[in-house]
Amino acid sequence: MRRVLVTGLGAVSPFGAGVKAYWAGLAAGTCAIRPATLIETDGFRCGVAAEVPDGVGGSSRRSRADRLAFAAAREALEDAGLAAADHRDTALIVGAVGGGMLEAEAWHWTRRGRPVRGPARLGAVRSILPSAHAESLGHRLGLGGPRESIVTACSSGAASLAVAAELIAAGAVDVAVAGGADALTRICYMGFSALKLLDSAPCRPFDRDRKGMSIGEGAAFVVLEAAEHARARGARGYAELTGAAMTTDAHHVTAPHPEGDGMARAMRAALAQGRVVPGDVGYVNAHGTATLQNDRIEAAALRAVFGEGRVLVSSTKSMIGHTMAAAGSLEALATVLALVHGLVPPTAQHEHTDPEVPFDCVPRVARETALAHAISNSFGFGGQNVTLLFRARP
């Protein structure tokens, strides 16, 4: 199997466009969860979300999620400095959930006599499906390799990296653009409201007094590349993706396995792929949604794999919310950047660690520390677990 390097990064986050803005926000511990403006929240308990600020760019005929995805994927490709000839066989693997639902909702809601924000166009339905992003990006970026849209709920963005890494490791392609994108949608917001999983204030992962999650939006893409291909063209690698493991709980459609069995299996499999032992890993970017159940079960799985207090654990969702299909890839970027900068992003709003979370959750302030290996956890509805293991550039 071939080694896989991360050679390009791109992000559009609630901190704005670009990787620089994203990392600056994370490193400063800034919370970007604010009163929601894109969707109607009247009649619901929660009125906050992490929205990408004005200036998303691109034609308003495209869905917001498409525009987020395009900006992030283009930044990653430009960052990698690939020649146009390389695009011909480059794979595009997109993690997606909501597709162009935000605009399709506006059309459907309006047709049903309940006008909402945003234009109501039948054309919006064209891009309603998750696959719409890959169709649009592949065409606009001229990517002619495998084109796949991966849906594993909230772990879709991470799963896209795992699938892309497998394509490269197996020799099917030399280069892949992989990541996830999602815009806020009414259905997502209302669904989590119906499940009573949203906090009315910005979320507080792993905190004793947490009340639930905050939703967000964004996009992040990476360029993954076979190590020999990157070396041959003199490309730098931000980090190496040494392990990418996916497991399924096969337990419940919304609740994780009560002992975190599937989560722990994913982490152990990623470590085994990367040929490292738990003690080698210095940082875990947790799924950390701030729901009562997820955080406790993830902590139990972390304890089973790493031992109590043996690794730094933080949740960047405390700053950018849960960005759904983008979460896994935005958090993979955060993990890579933590390795690059030797700085662990904090868990914002974290005051009192839940006694059932026996880890240093890096409260409120980023922590300088040298890191050799770090993992990013992503878990989704249906018990879809993904763990990505990154190694710092030597």
Partner 1 sequence: MTVRVAITGIGAVTLPATGGAAVLAHALAPPADGAGAALDPERIDRVLAELVEPGEARRLSRVSQLALVAGRLAIADAGLAADGALGLVIGTELGDLRSTIAFAEGYLARGASGLSPLLFPNTVMNTMASTAAIALTARELSLTIDAPGIAGEIAIARAAAFVAAGRIPAALAGGVDELDPAVAAVLAEARGGFAVRGEAAAFVVLESLAGAAARGARILGEVRAAATGALPASPYGVGRTSTSRVLARTLAHAGVGPGALRAVYTGTNGDGRRDAWEARVLAPVAAAPRIALARRFGQSSALGALKVAAAALDGPALVYGLARGGGEAALVIGG
Q: Which of residues 105-134 bind partner 1 (CB under 8 A)?
A: 105, 108-109, 112, 114, 122-132, 134
- Contact between 380 and partner 1 per CB under 8 A: yes
Point out the residues that are catalytic: 154, 287, 322
C-alpha–C-alpha distance, residues 191 and 135, integer Å: 27
Residue found under tokens 């162009």 = 100
The residue (of 239 and 245) whose beta carbon lies closer to partner 1 is 245
Closest distance between partner 1 and the C-beta of residue 161, in Å?
A: 13
The residue (of 139 and 352) whose beta carbon lies closer to partner 1 is 139
Which x/- pattern, by CB under 8 A, does the window 17-46 give for partner 1?
Answer: --------------------------xx--
Helix (H, G, I), strand (E, B) or coil at 47: coil
Q: Which of residues 191-230 bind partner 1 (CB under 8 A)?
A: 191-196
Q: Which of residues 145-184 bind partner 1 (CB under 8 A)?
A: 145-153, 159, 163, 166-167, 169-170, 172
Closest distance between partner 1 and the C-beta of residue 255, in Å?
A: 10
Rule CB under 8 A: choose which of 47, 119, 142, 309 binds partner 1: 142
Q: Which of residues 319-338 bind partner 1 (CB under 8 A)?
A: none
Strand residues in 253-381 grouped as ranges (E) = 281-285, 312-314, 343-344, 367-368, 373-380
242, 391 contact by CB (below 8 A) = yes
Closest distance between partner 1 and the C-beta of residue 115, in Å?
A: 12
Q: Which of residues 234-263 bind partner 1 (CB under 8 A)?
A: 246-254, 262
Q: Which two tokens mark 383?
A: 């018990």
* Residue 121 burial (C-beta neighbours within 10 Å; 0-12, 13-18, 19+): middle
C-alpha–C-alpha distance, residues 176 and 147, integer Å: 10
Q: Which of residues 273-292 bind partner 1 (CB under 8 A)?
A: none
- # of chain residues touching partner 1 (CB under 8 A): 72
The residue (of 89 and 360) whose beta carbon lies closer to partner 1 is 89
C-alpha–C-alpha distance, residues 360 and 382, integer Å: 29
Give the CA distances from residue 237 to residues 227, 233, 340, in Å, rounded to whole numbers and listed in that order: 8, 12, 10
The residue (of 13 and 63) whose beta carbon lies closer to partner 1 is 63
Q: Are strands 312-314 and 281-285 parallel, antiparallel or unpaired?
A: parallel
In sequence order, the 6+-apart residues with CB closer than 8 A to the CB of 266 are: 245, 246, 247, 377, 385, 386, 387
Closest distance between partner 1 and the C-beta of residue 104, in Å?
A: 9
Closest distance between partner 1 and the C-beta of residue 382, in Å?
A: 2
